[in-house]
Amino acid sequence: MEDPVMTIPEVARYLKLSKSKVYYLVQQRQIPPIHIGRNVRVREKDIQRWLKAHSVDAPKH
């Protein structure tokens, strides 16, 4: 199964965050980066894992 990778601008659009915020998250290793030379990429599965870890469950009624 293919594990897609995304650029920082793609991650920013996907998460609806600024590129600088995504760079910060990557720099802090909250979202694990892949370095290809000077280029930074992020695996889609790592973004999904980060989202799951930072989601707030809806309140139960």
- Sign of the dihedral through C-alpha 9, 49, 24, 1: negative
Q: Is residue 30 in some structural domain?
A: yes
| Residue 10 CB neighbour total at 10 angstroms | 16
pLDDT for 2-56, tens place per residue? 789 999 999 999 999 999 999 999 999 999 999 999 999 999 999 999 999 888 7
Residue showing tokens 């973004």? 47
Residue 59 DSSP symbol: P
Asked if the structure places residue 61 within a domain, the reply is no
Number of domains in the chain: 1
Residue 59 in any domain: the answer is no
Domain that holds residue 10: 5-54
The pTM for the full model equals 0.82
Q: Which residues are registered as beta bridge partners of 35?
A: 40
In a domain, 24, yes or no: yes
